[in-house]
Chain A
C-alpha cells in the first residue's frame, strides 16, 4: 500500500513548522509498513486528484496568500472542492483553513475569495491571538496547539466546529469554537505542529485515506508514549500560561 501526501503551496505557504504535520502523516504511514510519498503543488500547477491521498494546506504570510487565492479561482478550486466533497482527507491550518471557507478579508485590502468548502468566512481582526491552546473535541478528545492569528473565522449554520476551546481564543475569540470539520477535512488555527502531538488526528486522516483508496478500515496501533508525554506537557503548559 502507498499513500501520497500533497502539501498544497508548500513552497510558499510554509511558516510555523508545518513540515511537522506532513512528516507526521508520512511517518505514521511508514511505521505501519505503508509507503508514503510527499509531493507539493505550487501556484500555476494543475491538480490531479487521483494522484493524491491526503492533502495538507498550511499558513502563509499575507504577501504569499494573495497569489494562492488567485490560483484557486475557477477550475482548480472547483476541482479541489469536489475532491474534498468526495471524502478526500485534508488538514488545513490558518491561511489554508481560511481559503477553504467562502472568503478571507485582509485588513485594508480586497477580499480574497476561498473555495467555499466550509460554511465559514474570515476577516482580519484588531487583535492578534497568540498563545497555547487546548481544544476539547467530541471526536478526538483534547487537542493541543499554539494559535497565532489576527484573522477571525465565523462558522455558518451548517458548519460543525472541530471543538470548543478550553484554553485560548479559537476561531474568533467570541463563540468558543475552534476550527471546522466536514467529511474528512479539518480546518483549524492550531500550530505546534498539530499532528505530532495529537496522533489521533494524524490517524484519522491516514485511516480515511486508506479506507478511500483500499477499503481498509482498521489501523495497526502504534506506540505513542513520546507523543503523549509531549501532549500532556503541552496541556499543562497551556493551563499555566493563559
Chain B
C-alpha cells in the first residue's frame, strides 16, 4: 500500500484535535476530530472503511442503535477481534469519521479488524454509500424528532432507495416485527435476513398512540396484528392483500422480563436454541439483544461467544445506570422519543414502585426542538403508580402540564425548572438509603452526567 499523504495528514490532525480537546477538559472530543479530518481529506471515511479487513457493519434504527451496536462490538471483541466502533454514540458522518481516525495508524492502516458503525437515521444513506458495509442491521422506525427530519415517510423513502442500491454480496438483517422495515427491504438485491419475536407473552391490547406504521405499505389497508409487542412492532398481516410478516430467520422465544434488572430470550428452537440472559431491563432491550445476537451469528460468531458477550454487557452510556449519591441511589434511564419513553414508563408501572421520579425534558437539537412528542407518550402509566413526580429541564413546565392532563393530581407534580438547580432539590426529596428514578432526554442526560461528575459520583463517558 502506498502512503497517502492527504489521508495521513487528515488522520494525524484528527487524532491531535481529539487529544487536545480532552486536555482542555472540553468534553469527549467525539465529533470535532471528524470535522478536522474531513476538512483535510473528504474521502477519508471511504478510504479507511475499505481498508478494514473484516469489513463494516452498520446499525441503524430510531431506538436501540447504541445499545445494539455496543452489544455487537462486545461479542466481536470477546471472540478476539479488534473492533473499530463509534462507542460514544456520536453517529453522524463526522463522529463516525472520528472513530475511524482514532483507530488507525497515521499511515492509514486500521488497527481494527472489523468495524461496527452506529449511524443516525438521516445519515444512513451516506454512511452506507461510503463504507460499503457487508452487513446492515435495521432495528425499527419510530416517530422521533420530526422537526429535524421533516416526516417519518421521508426516512422510510430514503432508506428504501439505499436498500434498493445494495448488491447481492451485502446482507441485510431487519426487524421483521416492524412492518415498515419489512416493506422497504422487500425489493433489495441484498441477502435479507430477519429477526423478531416468535413467541412473547408480553403483548399490548391495542396500538399505542405513538404508533406509526399501522397501515399496509403495499395496499394501504389497516394492518391486523396477531400479536402486538411494543409500539407498532408485532406479528401482523393484511386482510386485504394477504401481506404478512416475513418468516423469522432469528425468532426469539421464551421471552422473560425480570423487573428493572434483566431479561431472557432464546434464539431458535429445540436443542439448538441459544438461551441468552441479559442484564438489561424491558422488552425494548430484548429486541436489541435479538438484533445483536442475530448479527453476530450472521457474521459467523459461535453461539457460546454470543451468549457470553451479551451476558457480560453493561447498558450503554446513560441508557440505564445506577449512581450512588449522598447515601441514595439514582437510577438513570434515558428517554429519547415517545416509544422509548413509553417503554420506560411501562417498565416502571409494571414494577409498581413508589420511589420519586424526576423527568428532565430539554428541547435542544438532539432532543427534538418540538416538545409535541410528549403528548404521544402514555404518561397515564404514572397515574397508576403512587410516586411523587418532579419535572426539570428547559421544558420542565411542558412535562408538568403533560402529567396534569394525564389525570395526575397537581399536588403530586413539582416543576423544578432548570436542571442545575433542580438536582439538589430532587436529591433532598429522596429518603436516606432510598432509590429514585431520573428520566432525562439526551442533552439533559449529558448535563446530568456533568453535574454528577462534578460531585465525583460518575466518570465522564469517554472514560468508560
Contacts and interface: CB of A to CB of B under 8 A. Distances in A.
Contact of B375 (A17, A128, A229, A241): A17
Given A23-B375, A146-B370, A192-B370, A16 B146 contact: yes
Contacts of B143: 15
Contacts of B363: 237
Contacts, number: 97
Contacts of A132: 369
B370 A191 contact: yes
A63 B151 CA distance: 11
A63 B153 CA distance: 8
A196 B147 contact: no
Contact of A191 (B150, B151, B372): B372
A15 B146 contact: yes
B375 A148 contact: no
Interface in A12-37: 12, 14-20, 23-24, 27
A128 B154 CA distance: 14
B183 to A, nearest CB: 13
> Which of A17, A128, A223, A232 gathers the greatest number of chain B CB atoms within 10 Å?
A17
B398 A234 contact: yes
A193 B373 CA distance: 9
Interface string B397-439: 1101110110100100101000000000000000000000000
Contact of B371 (A24, A192, A223, A241): A192
Contacts of A226: 397, 400-401, 404, 410, 413, 415
B398 A197 contact: yes
B396 interface: yes
A196 B402 contact: yes
B374 A61 contact: no
Contact of A61 (B152, B371, B405): B152
8 contacts: A12-B215, A23-B375, A62-B151, A191-B372, A196-B405, A226-B401, A230-B397, A231-B397
Given A148-B147, A196-B405, A226-B404, 17 more contacts: A17-B374, A17-B375, A19-B375, A20-B372, A20-B402, A24-B405, A62-B151, A132-B369, A146-B147, A148-B146, A192-B370, A197-B397, A230-B401, A231-B397, A233-B396, A237-B394, A241-B369
